[in-house]
Chain A
Amino acid sequence: MNPITSGRRHFEDLAVGEVLVLASVTVTREMIISFAREFDPLPFHLDEEAAKASLLGGLAASGWQTAALSLRLLNDAFLGHVASAGGLGFSDLKWRRPVLAGDTIGGTATIVALRLSQSHPEWGIAEIDFDISNHKGERAMTMRLANLIERREVLMTQPQQPYGTEHGSGRA
């Protein structure tokens, strides 16, 4: 039993179609520049003048920052409240529109598939579709995440050892 996750929702408690409403976050100029300095130091993420002249039209967050902030919103709404066993990865990430300084992003994450892990019977896999928009209602990013979630029932279904046999009862 994992004491950290035992009181949380497990794989069995989830349903396909469940919509997780994410909080929203305002992406400030300082946040954009700070992330870009560390992970994506391109002129249109660092400098307002260079950004205005670029295809993005203004100081824009790194697409990876938009994705990371969306992951944070999912942590607050879901991953921090379920028995997560880690991420497997994601697919079909689409940056549909730049997130500019001052934009507020938020949206939903929907559980679109639930299946059991083939290699690990103690886990299930939840596939979650992100739909992230800006404050004007324009879609900014979509992607599908795959995350491992612990199963609660797996210990109960394993064959039970009769008391004593494991440690050789009667030896005393």
Chain B
Amino acid sequence: MTRWFEDIEVGAPYPLGSHVFSAEAIKRFAALYDPQYFHLDEVAARHSHFGGLIASGWHTVVVGHRLMVDALEVEANRLRAAGGEPGVSGPSPGVNTMAFRTPVRPGDTVEYTLTVTSKRPSQSLPGWGLLINRLEGVNQRGEPVYHAEVVAFSKLRDYRMPLGRKLAAALKPLTRIGILKRLRANRR
């Protein structure tokens, strides 16, 4: 999210926009990453239980990711224009679950939504908060295409470093220099 950890609202759905999947794009993605016959070849796909060409589930997911990156960029620019300072998001450590539901066929429109379902300060990364993002896609008939639980980091605005940690951080360069000096002395 482009909001600071403290400002992120849990449970509020955030629309990311929609995307129309063309047969050409479905086949192009499949040829590179998921060349199964029902993602790649309309004629062969008729023999599958899908009865025709469908997009790789991974294709629908990465398109959702792209829309999220774009939507958050727009939000960050809006905040800057209003004189605010956007929050900072960190790299994602992973995905808890991803379920592919209704297949996406050529011409389908998928609408994507992001909802932060929980947040807590990170234990391992001081100054950062851990978010659980629910991402979902729904087609033009209202059928679920996929839903996922993705883990993300978001920076705390009001983080105060504990005194002990501050001291350790301040001393760290000194100890490094000390070690370097000792190493050099030993080499001589």
Contacts and interface: CB of A to CB of B under 8 A. Distances in A.
A91 B99 CA distance: 8
A110 B125 CA distance: 32
Nearest to B59: A68
Interface residues of B, number: 36
A64 B32 contact: no
B62 A84 contact: no
A55 B146 CA distance: 30
Contacts of A93: 94-95, 98
A112 interface: no
Contacts of A94: 93-94
Interface string A80-99: 10001111111111110010
Q: Is the interface of A mostly helix, strand, loop or mixed?
A: mixed
A41 B58 contact: no
B36 A90 contact: no
B97 A39 contact: no
Contacts of B17: none
A95 B65 contact: no
Interface string A129-167: 000000000000001000000000000000000000000
A169 interface: no
A72 to B, nearest CB: 5
Contact of A95 (B33, B94, B99): B94
6 contacts: A4-B48, A39-B63, A40-B62, A41-B66, A64-B58, A89-B100
Interface of B: 32-38, 44, 47-50, 54, 56-58, 61-63, 65-66, 69-70, 90-100, 103, 146
